[in-house]
Structure 1
Amino acid sequence: MTQSRGRARFGILVPFTNTNLEPDMALLAPDGVSMHFARMGGYDQDEIPDANQMHGLGAADLDEPLRLLQGVRPDVILYGCTSAMLTHGPVFDRGLAERIKADSGAETVTAAGALVHALQTLGVTRIGFASPYVPAINDMAVAFLAASGFDTVARSEVGDELDNYGQGALDPQAVLELGLAADHPEAEAIVLSCTDMRSVESIARLEQAVGKPVITSNQAMVFQAMQLAGIGEALPGYGQLLERERL
C-alpha cells in the first residue's frame, strides 16, 4: 500500500464537465486518504447527455487520463461516471474495471458497480431509483440493476432534458424531492444515481424521511474503495452505508 498522508491515495476519473464529484469526494474523504483527479472526455459538452453521448463516454479511450493519474501511484482508481456504464451493461462494466486494474496495478471501482456492491452489502433486492438522466438512460439503468439482481419498484425523473451543466445544477433540496418521489412501500432502499448530482448532501435528510437506506453513486464508490484499501472505520453523516464498519 502506497502511503500518502498516512493511509492511501484514491485516483478518480471524472467526466470533464462534472462539477460535483470533486466537492463530494472532499466531503467523503476518510482521514489520511488523499484524492487525485484526472478528467476524461468522449462526449460533446454542448449536447444533451443522452444514451448515445454516455455510450460514447463509456467507450472512450482512457489511455491518457489513466497515464496521468498513474503519476500519483494510486492505491484505488474510481471510474466516476455512472450513466456511461449503465448504457453498456454489467458485463462491460466489470470488464472495464478489470482492464483498468490490469493496466494500472490499482484496485478499481466503477460508479455503477459500486451501486451494485452497496445494495448487495445491504442485502436488499427491491429499490426506488432516481436520477437526472433522460428516460432512455433510466430504462437502461433499471435493466442494468435487474441483470444484477435488483427489482426497481418505483422510479422518479426530473421531467426535463437536462444538459451536462443542468444535472450538476440541481440543488440538494431538488435532489431530496427527487428521492422522495422514488420511494415506495416495497422499496427497501433508495438509489440516487449520477456522480454529478448533489446527492451526498441529501442522504441524511432523505434517510430520515423514508426510514430506509439511501445509496448514491459517490457515496457507494467511497464505500467500496475504502474496503479495497483496508480502511474499516465508519464515516458518520452520509448514510447508513458509510456508518457501518467494513472490516
Structure 2
Amino acid sequence: MTALGFLYPGHSGEDDYPRMEQLLGSDIRVDLVHTDIGEDAHRVDALREMGSPQRLAAGMAELRSAGAEAVVWACTSGSFVHGWEGAQDQVRDLATTAGVPASSTSFAFAHAAAEVGARRVAVGATYPDEVARLFEEFLGAAGLDVVAVVSSGVVTAAEVGRWTESEVLALARAADHPSAEAVLLPDTALHTVAHLPLLEKELGKPVLTANQVTVWEALRLTDRRVNAPELGTLFRREPVVQT
C-alpha cells in the first residue's frame, strides 16, 4: 500500500481526491487533511498567508500518523504567489516538518508539463489577472513558454467550487492557443477530474488540472507510475525523454 498525503486548503474541490483514489487502484491510499485558509480571497496577501508555515505545519501531525510516504501542498496559488524561490523554501520547510518528500501543486504543474512533453502551454485561470500573471511568471521560471493566459476574475475558492462542467470546458476552450502543447487549469478549488476525458477530447491535446497533477506529483515522489486513462494523458503515457 502506498500512502499519499495532501494538505488541502478549506473545502471546495476536495471531492476530486476520493474519485482519483478509486481510479488509481486498491494499493494506493489518498489521505487528505484540510488546512485553515484564513480569508477566502484570490488576493496576493491572503494567498501568501494561506500557505504560511504555521498553517501548513498544523495539518502535518495527522498525515504523519496516517503514514504518508509523500506530502503535497494541494494549492497552486498558495505556493506560486511566493515566487520560485519562495515556493522552494515552502516545500523544503514542508519536507522538514513531514519527514518525507514534499512538493506543491505549482511544482507539480512544471513536472507534469515535462512529463507530457509540453514546453509551450496555455493557462486558463479562475483567478484575477494579477494572480494569474504570477503563475505565468512561475511557469516561466520553470522553463515553460506560456503562449496564452485567460483570467476569469473569480475572487473566492467557494465560488470556483460551484463551477459546472460547461463552465470548466468554456474556460479551457477560451485558454487554448494553436501553438500550446498543453492547457493548464491551475485551481485546486475547481472540480475537474470527472471532466478530463471530455476536456482532452474537445481540445485535442493534454489538459493538466490542479488536483490531477497534485496526485500525480505525490505518486512521482514515491516512484509510482499508475496507468489510469480516465485521468488523462498524464496518466497514460510513457515518460518523455527531453533532449
Compute the TM-score of the two structures, normalised by the length of structure 2: 0.90
Structure 2 gap segments, 5+ residues each: none
CA contact (8 A) 2:12 2:157 kept: no
SS of match in other structure, 2:136: helix
- The reply to whether residue 177 of structure 1 matches residue 170 of structure 2 is yes
CA-atom RMSD in angstroms: 1.6
- The reply to whether residue 67 of structure 1 matches residue 61 of structure 2 is yes
Structure 1: how far apart are the matches of 2:154 and 2:125? 12
- The within-5 A match list for 1:4-15 is 7-15=1-9
Q: Shift of residue 73 of structure 1?
A: 1.8
Q: Deviations over 1:145-190 (max 9, x none)?
A: 11111121112222x4332310111112101110010111111100
Q: Shift of residue 245 of structure 1?
A: 4.8
Structure 1: how far apart are the matches of 2:154 and 2:182? 26
Q: 1:40 aligns with which of 29, 35, 39?
A: 35
TM superposition outliers: structure 1 runs of 4+ over 4 Å: none
SS of match in other structure, 2:148: strand
Q: 2:85 aligns with which of 81, 91, 94?
A: 91
Q: Shift of residue 224 of structure 1?
A: 2.1
Q: Percent identity?
A: 25
Structure 1 gap segments, 5+ residues each: 1-6
Q: Shift of residue 56 of structure 1?
A: 1.3
Aligned residues: 235
- The reply to whether residue 228 of structure 1 matches residue 205 of structure 2 is no
Q: Deviations over 1:25-62 (max 9, x none)?
A: 112122221222222225313xx321121111122412
Q: Shift of residue 10 of structure 1?
A: 1.2
Query: What is the aligned partner in structure 2 of residue 126 from structure 1?
Result: 120
Query: What is the aligned partner in structure 1 of residue 193 from structure 2?
Result: 200
Larger relative contact order (CA 8 Å, sep ≥ 6)? 2
CA contact (8 A) 2:57 2:94 kept: no
Equivalent AA in structure 1 for residue 177 of structure 2:
H
Structure 1: how far apart are the matches of 2:92 and 2:208? 23
Structure 2: how far apart are the matches of 1:49 and 1:155? 16
CA contact (8 A) 2:3 2:28 kept: yes
Compute the TM-score of the two structures, normalised by the length of structure 1: 0.89
Q: Shift of residue 239 of structure 1?
A: 0.9
Equivalent AA in structure 1 for residue 159 of structure 2:
G
Equivalent AA in structure 1 for residue 71 of structure 2:
I
- The reply to whether residue 110 of structure 1 matches residue 104 of structure 2 is yes
